[in-house]
Amino acid sequence: MSTAGPGGRIQTSRPGDPSRIGPYRIIGRLGSGGMGTVHAGLAPDGLRVAVKVIHSAQAEDADFRARFRREVELSRRVQGPCLIPLLAAEPEASPPWLATAYAPGPTLNQHLADRGPLTGGTLYAFAAGTAQALAAIHAAGVVHRDIKPQNVVLTPAGPRVLDFGIAHAADGTSITRTGVMTGTPGWISPEHYRTGTAGPAGDMFAWGALVAYAATGRLPFGTGAPDVVAFRVMSGEPDLDGMPGKLREIVEKCLAKEPADRTNAASAAEECALLLASQDTQVLGDGAGPEPTRVGELVTAQWDMPPLDDPAWPLPPTRSRKRTVAAILAAAAVVGGIAGGALALPSGTENTTHDAADAQAPPGETNAPRTGPAPSGTGTAKPSVDPRTVGIPKDPLLGVSDPAYTRADDPAQPGYDEWRASTAAAGPEEKDVEEAVRKDMTSILATKDMDFMKPIVTFNRRAQTVMVTGGPISMLTDDYKEVFGRTGAMAACTALAHRLEGAPTTWPYGRYYVLWKDFDGQTEPTFLDFGQATDGCLPETAGQWQGGEAGLPTAAMPSSDKAEIRIADTLVEAVRTAWNTRAAGGQYGLIPFGRDDSISLGFDPVEKAAYVWGRDDPGALVGRAQKSQFQQLVSKTVCQEMGAEYDRNENWNYTRWSVAVYQGNSGVAEFIGSGTCTAD
């Protein structure tokens, strides 16, 4: 659970995330792990901080709370070079949290993947700095127990060791109550494998492996099945080929099988500092080791990292847009409106409630494109649009006797070998589809400032599959990749469905496959999505569009489209006012919303849907009747306002809505209704 971030970039907050923790204003996420979630926060003086909030399941464990409380107290004592100081903590809060200074930069893992091993003075600075950090940790009576490449950040000023003093509170590399070994193979000491012992000597074993990995780019005990790696750790010799001779000697001592034979952290730091001083051409008198402050100076002097793109963190949005969302990637992007034709957006609504006891669902939407008058009857009828906005027909080949696409009944996912065999577009038909996919994806991604993600579209005729590949973009978060996957799937599915409808007996492609490459040379990209245009391009239930977990995180990402921002502000204020007016009048036993961010709204440009989510604050949405009233109020208000926007804006094509409720800080959404705005 890292306190660092790639170049100061933060992920969007999720619905249900807090807007403030202690004195810190929360503006996004930095990561998450088994222990909890790390939020990006700003102190009152503008200092950037990482705020770790413990998962509720662990917070309810009395033993865990006791360990967490003890380790927080120990961590307060730890000070030294190449450490990230603990700033504040509330072990008794619900949930418990702690805050540390923020350290920008890639982890060692990320740096090695992007730029290869460390060399020269930078390597010695890495070894000296991390050893000095462990010396300070051990001097305070703390054992780290989770030294690994993901827990070391290469900041512009030098390496920084993360999670000191609390890593083992989450049982990261210890024997659990069930006796099952957990942790990362290759970073667990021999004695830990044998007896579960985890002390300072175990940290030094992991440090030796860490420095070897930094110097060579190879894991000293190799890769493979966990039991195979464990056998090598306990009985094999490490692979240290390519390491500088004197540094290799220090590392070999730390990788000794017996804890008593290893160098301690203070001695390793001193020896590495002497190597570093020789790089700095400075002589230490009488063989005396350098002081800790001197180590820090030497590390800074020899540290050589590529320039870091470290944008300033934005302040949280004001008014109703303060909706659990923070700015994410500070990249230059073209801010554009939503492209594509506009749909006649009527003022009524078709809806699907997720609880049959709350409301009766009217008949579902049709599958064919539709046109119609403007909602109020005062506007001009608009042309039909991309069928995505009302649902691609379930099977474009229905009734075609001899279609060219023959795999409609084949549910198998395409394989990497088929991706490798794909080629660039050849011929006007393939080039038209390539252009349609790229144009559609760029249009959708631009609404979230993500049009810097350029897709590569290739074709495998034998597999009858269109491949959409993204990347490589350094240190991109999973949230962005997920949105790219959804966007690529929708764009490819739509383009293929149109082509299948227009040329069913000659067009052979009907499948799509969306992948992501994290770095050049990656042999097997990460799978994101796949499907068939003959299955439809939107999630539907009994013929009706159904909002859900895929669209909500996308909707929570900040929009760059001015119309979306304006409509979001207007709708949130309208829903809040209408609800509180009803509550003040005593209708249905409603309770007013008490917080400014208790109602939030965002747009999912992939499925052209507005998502509204409310927090049960303070008990306003606790019962089924209250949730039903909230869903009905939202659907009516959203369709009225989006219908009015249709009259004003020829590019407006949002027609769907979905409503969710969060209970407390659980982070789990309950979807209570979805629907499509329809003609009166």
Catalytic residues: 146
Q: Please state whether beta strands 540-541 and 526-532 pair in parallel, antiparallel, or not at all (unpaired).
A: unpaired
Judge whether 610 and 556 are in contact, CB under 8 Å. no
Judge whether 276 and 121 are in contact, CB under 8 Å. yes
Q: Where are the alpha helices (DSSP H) in 548-608?
A: 551-556, 562-584
Q: Please state whether beta strands 609-615 and 599-604 pair in parallel, antiparallel, or not at all (unpaired).
A: antiparallel
The one-letter amino acid code at 581 reads T
Q: Please state whether beta strands 48-54 and 544-545 pair in parallel, antiparallel, or not at all (unpaired).
A: unpaired
The number of residues making up the chain comes to: 680
> Closest by alpha carbon to 347, among 677, 9, 17, 3?
677
> Closest by alpha carbon to 600, among 639, 563, 559?
559
* Tokens representing residue 481 in the block: 């990749």
The DSSP output letter for 107 is B
Q: Is the dihedral of CA 218, 220, 226, 227 positive or negative?
A: positive
The one-letter amino acid code at 542 reads A
The one-letter amino acid code at 38 reads V
Q: Write the CB contacts of 267 (distance below 8 Å, at least 6 apart in sequence).
A: none
Q: What is the distance between the alpha carbons of residues 39 and 20, in angstroms, rounded to a whole number?
A: 10
Q: Per-residue DSSP letters for 51-81?
A: EEEE-HHHHT-HHHHHHHHHHHHHHHH---T
Q: Please state whether beta strands 4-5 and 103-104 pair in parallel, antiparallel, or not at all (unpaired).
A: parallel
From residue 610, alpha-carbon distances to 14, 16, 240, 255, 661 in Å are 16, 17, 56, 56, 14
From residue 139, alpha-carbon distances to 134, 143, 269 in Å are 8, 9, 13
Distance of CA 613 to the CA centre of its chain: 20
* Tokens representing residue 302 in the block: 């020899």
Judge whether 143 and 199 are in contact, CB under 8 Å. yes
Judge whether 459 and 423 are in contact, CB under 8 Å. yes
Instruction: Name the β-bridge partners of 594.
Output: none
Q: What is the distance between the alpha carbons of residues 640 and 643, in angstroms, rounded to a whole number?
A: 5
* Tokens representing residue 531 in the block: 């499907």
Number of neighbouring beta carbons within 10 Å of residue 620? 25
> Closest by alpha carbon to 194, among 214, 222, 175, 172?
175
Q: Which helix (H) or strand (E) holds 98?
A: strand 97-101
Q: Which helix (H) or strand (E) holds 266?
A: helix 265-279
Read off φ and ψ for residue 487, nearest 5 degrees.
Answer: -65, -45
> Closest by alpha carbon to 28, among 669, 612, 482, 479?
479
Q: What is the distance between the alpha carbons of residues 85 and 106, in angstroms, rounded to a whole number?
A: 19
Q: What is the distance between the alpha carbons of residues 632 and 359, in angstroms, rounded to a whole number?
A: 9
